[in-house]
Amino acid sequence: MFLAIRDLWWARGRFALMAGAIALITLLVVMLTGLTEGLGRQSTSAITSLRADQIAVERPASGETLSMSTSRITGAALQKARTQSGVNAADPIGISTTRVTVGSTPAPATLFGVDPKAAVAPSGIGPDSAVVSSELVKDHTIRAGDSISVNGTTLRVAKVVDDASFSHVPVVWVPRSLWRHTGAAAGSEGTVLALQTGKGFDAQSFDTATGLVSKSRADSLSTIGSYSAENGSLTMIRGLLIAISALVIGAFFTVWTVQREGDLAVLKAVGARTTYLLRDALGQALLTLLLGGGIGTAAAFALGLAVRGQVPVVIDLGTVVVPFALMVAVGLLGATAALRRVVTVDPLTALAGAR
């Protein structure tokens, strides 16, 4: 590492330029990771917080995709689901987007209609009471004990729950009897089934018997249209950024190694081993990545904390440390493109060319 540090100090201008480029790329990757996670939670947090092992939706017609927004659970399917082996509870949830009235102000909300005594129902919900998401409270002054109007019915707010959103709209939990009087119900028992399962549950047998499609809670997120589109697009952009960073870092260290061929030739001529030069080159790349990536990660962390009240960005260990580690690993992979010249440089040819 002695030669690596001395070389970086001697070419500190180029080193600072490269570290700055890595810092900017890392800043973008970390912020994009946090934004992807934040947008994902705004689309799915109401589902991921359910006390359920499986989510069952209606099997789509040929050529269509699974979707919670178009799913309808019939009474016959509900009865069959409750009699299947390994199913401890099968609770229908009616999901529909509407407007609720807070005071005299209408506000967009996603209704989650559940039976008050269902295993999946949040505590506090009753025949004349509702549970609202904290996302709704941010925009409207609502406290437990206040009243809201849902489709002309006045409900008392029994409780405010943290971070419950569906397709970027805050959730209001209401009695299923109220949801079934909305136009979205269309005579169905619900939109999805929340299953609590135990020993003996077999997803394939359940699907065959009920005509539904059951998925684990994590896998069911793909049936939320907004989540699938956003997560796929942002993940692709993040992957492209990481691939670009590998190419940029690889190109930089390749050029740097070409400029150092004379020095490498001298070192080989005086007896330096190739393994020593390889360790030195990788150490140089690691130092550059750690410094540049560290600066970019710190900047992203500070920026994320500053804007997370206005932007749906998540700043935690998974969205900060993991992208940083990935950038370092990918950067080292790109830097290995420069190692071929370290191995193949001929000291005699290089020294003769220098003369």
Provide the pLDDT for residue 82: 93
Using the 3D structure, point to which of 216, 238, 253 is the last residue of a domain. 216
Record the pTM.
0.77
Q: Tell me whether residue 190 is in a domain.
A: yes
The reply to whether 138 and 173 lie within a common domain is yes
Nearest-10 crossing angle of helices 274-307, 12-48: 50
Q: What is the mean pLDDT of the chain?
A: 84
The reply to whether 196 and 235 lie within a common domain is no
- Would the pLDDT of 257 be above 80? no
Q: Tell me whether residue 222 is in a domain.
A: no
The reply to whether 139 and 176 lie within a common domain is yes
Question: Once rounded to an integer, what is the mean pLDDT over residues 300-315?
Answer: 87
- Tell me, what DSSP letter sits at residue 190? B
- Asked if residues 122 and 154 have their Cβ atoms less than 8 Å apart, the reply is no
Question: Once rounded to an integer, what is the mean pLDDT over residues 209-235?
Answer: 87
The reply to whether 174 and 259 lie within a common domain is no
Q: Tell me whether residue 253 is in a domain.
A: yes
Q: Tell me whether residue 270 is in a domain.
A: yes
The reply to whether 19 and 80 lie within a common domain is no
Using the 3D structure, point to which of 216, 250, 283 is the last residue of a domain. 216
Q: Worst-scoring range by mean pLDDT, 123-127, 270-274, 291-295, 322-326? A: 270-274
- Would the pLDDT of 55 be above 90? yes
Rounded to whole angstroms, the Cα distance separating 263 from 279 reads 16
- Would the pLDDT of 311 be above 60? yes
The closest of 353, 349, 332, 345 to 273, measured between CA atoms, is 345
The reply to whether 91 and 132 lie within a common domain is yes
The reply to whether 207 and 90 lie within a common domain is yes
Question: Once rounded to an integer, what is the mean pLDDT over residues 101-106?
Answer: 84
Q: Tell me whether residue 107 is in a domain.
A: yes
Provide the pLDDT for residue 192: 93
Provide the pLDDT for residue 296: 93
Using the 3D structure, point to which of 183, 216, 249 is the last residue of a domain. 216
Share of residues in the chain with pLDDT > 90 (%): 29
**Residues 6 or more apart whose Cβ sits within 8 Å of residue 321:** 297
Q: Tell me whether residue 26 is in a domain.
A: yes
Question: Once rounded to an integer, what is the mean pLDDT over residues 290-302?
Answer: 92
Overall domain count for the chain: 2
- Would the pLDDT of 217 be above 80? yes
Provide the pLDDT for residue 65: 85
Higher pLDDT: 261 or 320? It is 320
Q: Tell me whether residue 223 is in a domain.
A: no
The reply to whether 135 and 203 lie within a common domain is yes
- Would the pLDDT of 1 be above 70? no
User: What is the radius of gyration, based on Cα positions, of the chain?
Assistant: 29
Q: Tell me whether residue 77 is in a domain.
A: yes
Q: Worst-scoring range by mean pLDDT, 3-17, 36-50, 111-125, 327-341? A: 3-17
The closest of 182, 195, 125 to 150, measured between CA atoms, is 182
Question: Once rounded to an integer, what is the mean pLDDT over residues 333-345?
Answer: 71
Rounded to whole angstroms, the Cα distance separating 87 from 305 reads 43
Provide the pLDDT for residue 222: 87
Residue span of the structural domain in which 10 resides: 2-42+228-354
Provide the pLDDT for residue 66: 87
- Would the pLDDT of 6 be above 70? no
Name the band, by pLDDT with cuts 50, 70 and 90, for residue 350: low
The reply to whether 107 and 198 lie within a common domain is yes
The reply to whether 164 and 270 lie within a common domain is no
- Would the pLDDT of 330 be above 90? no
Question: Once rounded to an integer, what is the mean pLDDT over residues 302-329?
Answer: 88
The reply to whether 158 and 126 lie within a common domain is yes
The reply to whether 209 and 79 lie within a common domain is yes
CA 151 to chain centre: 34
pLDDT tens across 72-98, in order? 999 999 999 999 999 999 999 999 988
Burial pattern 262-277, b for ≥16 Cβ within 10 A else e, equals eebbebbeeeeeeeeb
pLDDT tens across 141-187, in order? 788 888 898 888 899 998 888 878 888 889 999 999 999 888 888 88
Beta strands in the chain (DSSP E): 54-58, 87-102, 105-114, 129-133, 147-150, 153-161, 165-166, 169-175, 192-197, 212-216
Phi, psi of 131 (to 5 degrees): -120, 130
pLDDT tens across 177-202, in order? 999 888 888 888 999 999 999 988 99
The closest of 118, 113, 75 to 97, measured between CA atoms, is 113
The closest of 252, 241, 251 to 18, measured between CA atoms, is 252
